[in-house]
Chain A
Amino acid sequence: DQQVKQNSPSLSVQEGRISILNCDYTNSMFDYFLWYKKYPAEGPTFLISISSIKDKNEDGRFTVFLNKSAKHLSLHIVPSQPGDSAVYFCAASAGGGSQGNLIFGKGTKLSVKP
């Protein structure tokens, strides 16, 4: 039973355009959400996070939106750059953000074409 779902295995976007990566979750106890980025042969690196008390968090070109009623979050990258090409993982945790209980989605591979 997948509690965190990333239904798009891949996404291709032109440089300079917006990239939108989607994530759905089923567990209503999740109260903290994170996005990680992973390059080949490297470990995942933290990108941005959002608490369930917010509906938006912004950091430079990256914005995460949370829709609790729909149990859906999305990551927007504007403008997209070739260096953004990587696998993006959505992750969620319950219980006040106890990070050890991070549940990851399967990831979405983003390709940004010059």
Chain B
Amino acid sequence: EAGVAQSPRYKIIEKRQSVAFWCNPISGHATLYWYQQILGQGPKLLIQFQNNGVVDDSQLPKDRFSAERLKGVDSTLKIQPAKLEDSAVYLCASSLSPGVYWGNTGELFFGEGSRLTVL
């Protein structure tokens, strides 16, 4: 079974430039998440999709970050304009569905992440 695919793996940009990250979740997974992991910190949820609808984007800095999940499969996360503090690894994750139920641990499956450096 193919895992969560993310690209690019690494990106270096100047501040005020824009960047986009792409994620392809595990086939059949309805729920998709974007997490931001700053060096030395744990991952922090930015946005959660259920199919192509947004469930939670309360921690997404909407003045510069945007995300979409067209057709309920692939997703893109965009940052425009980037700031120095946006330097982080952006992790995409997917799960069969949100929540825990019998036979499902509710675990998230993470991609390898996209490392962004803003200079």
> A residues near B, CB below 8 A?
4, 32, 34, 36, 41-46, 49, 51, 89, 91, 96-107
Contacts and interface: CB of A to CB of B under 8 A. Distances in A.
Contacts of A99: 31, 33, 95, 98-100, 106-108
B22 to A, nearest CB: 15
A46 B100 CA distance: 14
Interface of B: 4, 31, 33, 40-45, 48, 55-56, 91, 93, 95, 98-100, 105-113
Nearest to A2: B42
A34 B98 CA distance: 14
A43 B31 contact: no
A96 B43 contact: no
Given A41-B112, A43-B4, A100 B105 contact: no
A34 B107 contact: yes
Given A43-B110, A100-B48, A89 B33 contact: no
B99 A46 contact: no
15 contacts: A34-B105, A34-B107, A41-B112, A42-B112, A42-B113, A43-B111, A43-B113, A49-B105, A49-B107, A100-B48, A100-B55, A103-B42, A104-B44, A105-B42, A106-B42
Nearest to A99: B106
Given A99-B95, A99-B99, A46 B42 contact: no
A32 B104 CA distance: 13
Given A32-B106, A91-B42, A104-B42, A98 B93 contact: no
Nearest to B33: A100
Contacts of A91: 42
B98 A89 contact: no
Most buried by A among B40, B45, B106: B106
